[in-house]
Amino acid sequence: EVQLVESGGGLVQPGRSLKLSCAASGFTYSNYVMAWVRQAPTKGLEWVASISTGGGNTYYRDSVKGRFTISRDNAKNTLYLQIDSLRSEDTATYYCAKDMRGWGPGTMVTVSS
């Protein structure tokens, strides 16, 4: 059974950094493109970033380029999202997604002073 479990969210002050993790199990992790998708409270879904199977290719939405870094550790079956210079508009539930097909339960990030 595919399992994705995000962690690392919380309440953070504007301008600070945070690193989200997503532990994957139940499938051959290294074979799949992985992604982060976020959803602000009461809002729709917003793709954030994707990473290729080997990690050599990364893609970002324009609004997070230069502040967010997606990475993966295929030996640990774990996906990461480093978020720097947090802004209030980054407040959202962040979902980890396997090939945009399977999703984790999400981790909430709240940016507030």
Question: Which residues form the interface with another protein (CB under 8 A)?
Answer: 35, 37, 44-47, 50, 59-62, 95, 100-106
Complex with another protein: residue 46 or 84, whichever CB lies closer: 46
Q: Which of residues 5 and 75 has its CB atom nearest to another protein in the complex?
A: 5
Our separate counts of H helices and E strands in the chain read 0, 11
Task: Closer to another protein by CB, 27 or 59: give it.
Answer: 59
- Give the nearest distance from C-beta 90 to another protein in angstroms: 17
Least distance (Å) between residue 9 CB and another protein: 14
DSSP state letter for 90: G
Q: How many C-beta atoms lie closer than 10 Å to residue 28's C-beta?
A: 10
Quote the least distance from Cβ 71 to another protein, whole Å. 17
Alpha-carbon distance of 84 to 97, in angstroms, equals 21
Torsion angle, alpha carbons of 82, 70, 106, 21, to 10? -60
Determine the residue type at 62.
D
Complex with another protein: residue 43 or 87, whichever CB lies closer? 43
